[in-house]
Structure 1
Amino acid sequence: MRNQHLDSKILSTLSSVSQQTISVFLGLFFILLLPTIVYADVFIPDSEYTGYYDYEGIYTVVGNVKNQNDFALIPIITISVIDNDQTKITHTLHHVPIPAMTDIPFKLKFPEIHGKHPVLLNAELEYFKTEKNPVPIQIVYDKTLITYEDGHVTGRIKNIGNQTVYNPKVFAIVHGYEKYILDVAQNIRPIEKIEPGQILNFTIYPDPSVSEPVRFYSCFAPVDTTVIPITTKKNGGDFDFRYDSGAWYSAAKFDEAGTTLSIKGYNSYPLETYANFEFPPISGNEKFVVTLNDKPIEFIQSVDEMGFWHVAFNIEPTSQGILKISGFEKGLPPELPKIPQWIKNNAQWWVTDQITDSEFLEGIDFLFEKQIVSVPERDVISESQWNIPSWAKTSVSWWYEEKITDDEFLNFIENLVKRKIVVI
């Protein structure tokens, strides 16, 4: 059956906040028609693109990508900054998938920049098409959406879909009086999940370096994935991993043995937040130890449905230090199969009548959730309406017996769903 391990997120408790409020509604729909940085239907408005030094002195670039196409896409944003010594520093960000007719803000750090007056150059945008439906979460625009005197905002989100959304986040652009954009901020307290019809609270703080009074927030963008990819050297090769956090991490490196990862992190916000690191397995038997500034910290180690390790922990308010995660095995991870082993186990159990149609289809639905396989405009229906013909067991048995490849099995499933022979 489906592995129930989900990405570990550790909830934190927010401090009490002032009840003096300022309405945010006057500015929510105010849009300036200014020239854009790039042409066509994917662009970053000049008015929503800026750079500043954050609370920890790290040069930070924020902006907002607008997708006005009738298809979803993943933007690749290349940003260059010229430091005072005329050194040009360039970083590339693979942004989250943006559904059609949607915009999602971004934030990118440049720890190498130290000059007093760095020059932010126009961003370069590329993109490739993808399958991504809008996240079925809406901001509740009512009197509960409040901006406080210290610049933070509280509000509520509602799941208007018919499926649970795991680990959602809310991004927003922070506007000032003199500057049109001050920051791009997100909710600091993690939201583990939001069920269909459920309404949950969120709180967003701008970076503490923002000294200009906050005028309003706009472009609220609920998203369901914000992981940041990192590549570092390990035992002579590239080691790719990801993290999701309200804090920022940089300068990742392994020791000579390739068993301990060091990375600098800091949380500039006055709230406790979290970090969740995702690592590919080498043997699958790794046991990690985590320290911050060489002192052990509490953490949770788990494995997700794809077989990736997760290391998650709380982060103290306004804190920084060197994080070390040890317990990696030497060498580089083997290439993981496209389809998790538990789905192949399900296939064998279904063909031999050990599990029900619905239990087998949980694994097939997982393949669509993770975009391992996709079809255009797939209708999402309740689990009680799922069905699969019994004659499909022959092809499924060929797959778990390795008479056909993973790709052939995925093409088989995609074809059945397109033709609505399999309904899920």
Structure 2
Amino acid sequence: MKTIDPTQLRNQHLDSKISSTLFRISQKKILYLLGLLFLTLLVPQVAFAEVFVPLHEYLGYFDSTGIYTVVGNVKNENSFAIIPTITVSVIDDSDIISKTIKHVPLAAGKEIPFKIKFPELTSNTPILVNPEITFEKTITDEIPIQILYDKTLIKHDDGHITGRIQNIGEETIYYPKIYAVVHGYENVLDITQNIELIEKIEPGQILDFSMYPDPAIIEDVFYYSCFAPVDTTVIPVTAKKDDGNFDFRYDSGAWYSAAKFDETGTTLSIKGYNSYPLETYANFEFPPISGDEKFSVTLNDEPVEFIQSIDEMGYWHVAFKVGPTSQGILKISGFEKGLPPELPKIPQWIKVNTEWWITNQISDIEFLEGIDFLFEKQIISVPERDVLSESQWKIPQWVKVSAEWWHEEKISDDDFLNIIENLVQRKIIVV
């Protein structure tokens, strides 16, 4: 087992939630739903204000392993950023299976594809219901990653595509991912993403990427469009553990399902498969229980080499490579018994920084780096905030009084966050 610097996983998001509901309905209700589905098919797009999923970019298909897969593309035509929540429902014989995904922040005028798999389906003729979409307003900057539309962007004979991306911003982007919509000659076929792990891309740096569609549709691929770069993406999972729910997330070019703990609550097993003909990666993120966990990983009972680390929010990460066209039962052992405690809103390292700042052990700029992190992670936000270089950051010394109260636990995390949010909004603190 190796250890890496926690800041390497700095941009991992903790902002997704999936719920799956399965219930029985009568034959009468099925007929009603089919009639409703017929009517909604006449509508050109599913919309909520200026956020919608075009129906010509929304479909379901059986992938190369027989799993029913639903793909779509969320468009945000508002003048502000949003966090979209998409609910997808499928009629499976006399059952309705619904899944909801809270996606990553989406900047104004941008789009983001999504993919949801339904391994629970038993019917060979499922009926896909139009998606429901809601959103909440947020603040996020456009990801400064550009697809290079030049001779290096190539669609190959086997349907996959290779190309290059460039960081056109002024800051390092950690764990970027590129989504794209895969088209056939007449319709959309799939949603895909870069197959290789990109740990980071420095300002001005150019990196290669490759994308593979599901093997079930490679012969029908015509072109790729709607390339959408994001700096975070996670798939949420819930497993029963010690009479409660254990929520965790993963980021991977492979797909995982049917997660469950053993009777002791110390070993997690989950089915995984990589349908692509290339090696990819998996990065699992777990909330800590004791903070002293030491994990081990096996695939089909064979040891897997992995990296264990902890990020700046205090979450464990277990990362490893996934072989091409592979599948099996992944087991991760080393969990403590019981369920994780609720983590504080503000990471512990920021509290340590605050103590050092109060006692003049670090500079104002070093303290403000922690405050800027709270904005990056959307722990706090203001309606408008200019992006400034560190040389323009400023903070009055009297703010140390409030910081000291928080460090001494005379005021709560929420009180401190409200104070900082108010001071930044009034431009007393500039960061």
1:37 & 1:366 partners in 2: Cα distance? Answer: 35
Structure 2: segments with no counterpart, 5+ residues: 12-42
Q: Which residue of 2 aligns with 1:309?
A: 316
What is the CA distance between 1:176 and its match in structure 2?
A: 0.7
Which of 39, 46, 49 is matched with 2:58 structurally?
49
The one of 141, 148, 162 equivalent to 1:154 is 162
Distance in 1 between the 2:168 and 2:388 partners?
14
State how 1:14-413 maps to structure 2 within 5 Å: 35-38=44-47, 40-83=49-92, 85-178=93-186, 180-413=187-420
Q: 1:175-231, CA deviations, whole angstroms, 9 ceiling, x for partnerless residues?
A: 0114x1011000010111112222222111111111443211110000111101111
Give 1:384 deviation, angstroms: 2.6
Q: CA offsets, 1:30-76, max 9 Å, x none? A: xxxx8113453111112101111111111111111111112222222
Opposite residue 162 of structure 1, the aligned amino acid is E
User: Is this contact kept in 1: 2:6–2:309, CA < 8 A?
Assistant: no
Question: Relative to structure 1, is the Cα distance of residues 321 and 125 closer, same or farther in structure 2, using a 3 angstrom cutoff?
Answer: same
Is 1:419 the counterpart of 2:426? The answer is yes
Aligned residues: 396
C-alpha distance in 2, partners of 1:407/1:128? Answer: 21
Matches of 1:394 and 1:90, distance apart in 2: 50
DSSP-derived class of the 1:324 partner: strand
CA distance in 2, matches of 1:379, 1:199: 27
Bigger Cα displacement from structure 2, 144-153 vs 114-123: 114-123
State the alpha-carbon separation in 2 of the partners of residues 159 and 324 from structure 1.
36
- Equivalent position of 1:15 in the other structure: none
1:151 CA displacement = 0.9
CA distance in 1, matches of 2:80, 2:283: 30
State the alpha-carbon separation in 1 of the partners of residues 289 and 56 from structure 2: 46
Residue identity in the other structure for 1:45: P
Report the CA distance between 1:383 and its aligned residue.
2.1
Kindly indicate whether the alpha-carbon contact (under 8 Å) linking 2:48 and 2:133 is maintained by their aligned counterparts in 1: no
Q: Which runs of 5+ in 1 are unaligned?
A: 10-33
Structure 1 residues 110 and 288, CA gap change in structure 2 (3 angstroms): same
Cα distance between partner residues in 1 of 2:303 and 2:402:
51
1:143-175: CA deviations, max 9, x gaps? Answer: 221111111111222222222111110000000
Q: Which AA in structure 2 matches 1:381?
A: L
Task: Confirm or deny: 8 A CA contact 1:176 1:212 kept in the other structure.
Answer: no
Deviation at 1:79, TM superposition (A): 1.4
Residue 421 of structure 1 and its aligned partner are, at CA, apart by 2.1
Are the structure 2 counterparts of residues 200 and 349 from structure 1 closer, same or farther at C-alpha, using a change threshold of 3 Å? same
1:413 alignment partner, SS class: helix
SS at match of 1:333: coil
The code of the aligned residue for 2:128 comes to L
Q: Could you tell me how far 1:4 is from its partner in structure 2?
A: 4.6
Residues 66-118 of structure 1 deviation map (CA, whole Å, 9 limit, x = unaligned): 111122222222212223x3433222222222111111111010102243322
Q: What code does the residue aligned with 2:8 have?
A: L
State the distance in 2 between where 1:137 and 1:261 align: 36
- Structure 2 equivalent of residue 28 of structure 1: none
Structure 1 stretch displaced more, 277-286 or 92-101: 92-101
Distance of 1:119 and 1:402 partners within structure 2: 54
Q: CA deviation at 1:420?
A: 2.1
- What's the C-alpha RMSD, in Å, of the aligned pairs? 1.7
TM-score, normalization: structure 2?
A: 0.88
Task: Flag the structure with higher helix content.
Answer: 2
Partner of residue 28, structure 2? none
Aligned AA for 1:42? Answer: V
Amino acid at match of 2:323: E
Mapped partners of 1:227, 1:281: distance in 2: 18
**Residue number among 7, 10, 35 corresponding to 2:9 in the alignment:** 7
Asked whether the equivalents of residues 277 and 311 of structure 1 are also in contact (C-alpha less than 8 Å), the reply is: yes
Does the Cα contact within 8 Å between 2:72 and 2:191 map onto a contact in 1? Answer: yes
CA distance in 2, matches of 1:69, 1:38: 12
Distance 1:261 1:133 in 2: 36
Code of the residue aligned with 1:150 in structure 2: it is: D
Identity between Structure 1 and Structure 2 (%): 70
Aligned residues of 2:8 and 2:199 also touching (Cα < 8 A) = no
Contact 1:5 1:302 in 2 (8 A): no
TM-score when scaled to structure 1?
Answer: 0.90
